[in-house]
Amino acid sequence: MSNSTVKSSSADLAGKQLIVTGGTGALGSAVSQTLLASGATVTVSYIVDEEFAELQKQCAEAVSAGRLHGAKANLTEESAVGDFVKATAADRGGLDGVVNIAGGFVFAPLLETSVDQLDHMWNLNFRTLFLVSRAAYPHLKQRGGGTIVSIGARPGTQGTAGLSAYAASKAAVINFTQTLADEGRADGVRAFSVLPSIIDTPANRAAMPDANFETWVTPASLARVIRFVLEDESQDMSGAILPVYGQA
């Protein structure tokens, strides 16, 4: 995506202060750029320096306007998450929403799945969501309400061969989202989980070179769904589990 994307979209999220975890990867970058294009101020967490530098390059106008910020953080560590969210809310004057994209994937049949792989999936896909959501909630409540978005997956709704650890972690994401929506109703804190099928990323194309890429969901398509649930137009929605499967 280019700078023209950031310049041309409407400002449906103007003034919103948002966090995007894992905001520099294939999906994270698309989401960050879409939210910036809609007028939001976005603070991303990242691990790879080069990815953040590339996002800054793609969003040079937003950087100049002081609407793109980043922090290198290991979101599986409780103290690191607390510091990141607290500093972001303090520096931005509050927090309106969080998009939890940080996560990972492992394919392995049950008998070939190690405990380390199980822990890895749980930590990346659920622990990060739990820690960030818990840290962000008081800031959203103080703001009078806000939105927490997570990335689930179709296997999280129905177990799939070869994905025991991954599917279980994504099932936890979905259940947690519904629980969070129920708990957050009185405080105006909304929660959603977006469920992609296969995302059309360079990594997935390399892993499945013989697949029909045209049936996959693009990062840009997912980003538009995420943008909608963050907008005020969706204010009467919460707890929705949104399948975004494309034709896959």
Q: What is the CATH number of the domain that holds 62?
A: 3.40.50.720
The parts of the chain modelled with pLDDT lower than 50 are 1-9
Instruction: Count up the domains in the chain and report the number.
Output: 1
d(CA 131, CA 148): 12
Specify the DSSP class assigned to residue 123: I
Which pLDDT does position 246 carry in this prediction?
A: 87
Catalytic status, residue 137? no
Which pLDDT does position 10 carry in this prediction?
A: 53
Pairs from 156-164 (Cβ < 8 Å, separation ≥ 24): 156/195, 157/195, 157/241, 161/109, 162/107, 162/108, 162/109, 163/107, 164/108, 164/109, 164/110, 164/113
Q: What is the pTM of this model?
A: 0.93
Structural domain of 213: 3-244
Cα–Cα nearest to 100, from 174, 39, 198: 174
Question: In degrees rounded to 5, what are phi and psi of residue 160?
Answer: -130, 135
pLDDT tens digits for 63-117?
999 999 999 999 999 999 999 999 999 999 999 999 999 999 999 999 999 999 9
Work out the burial of residue 79: count CB atoms within 10 Å of its CB; fewer than 13 is exposed, 13-18 middle, 19 or more buried: exposed
Which pLDDT does position 26 carry in this prediction?
A: 94
Specify the DSSP class assigned to residue 111: G
Amino acid identity at 79: S
Specify the DSSP class assigned to residue 218: P
Which pLDDT does position 248 carry in this prediction?
A: 77
The single residue of 46, 137, 166, 245 carrying the catalytic annotation is 166
Which pLDDT does position 7 carry in this prediction?
A: 42
d(CA 99, CA 140): 13
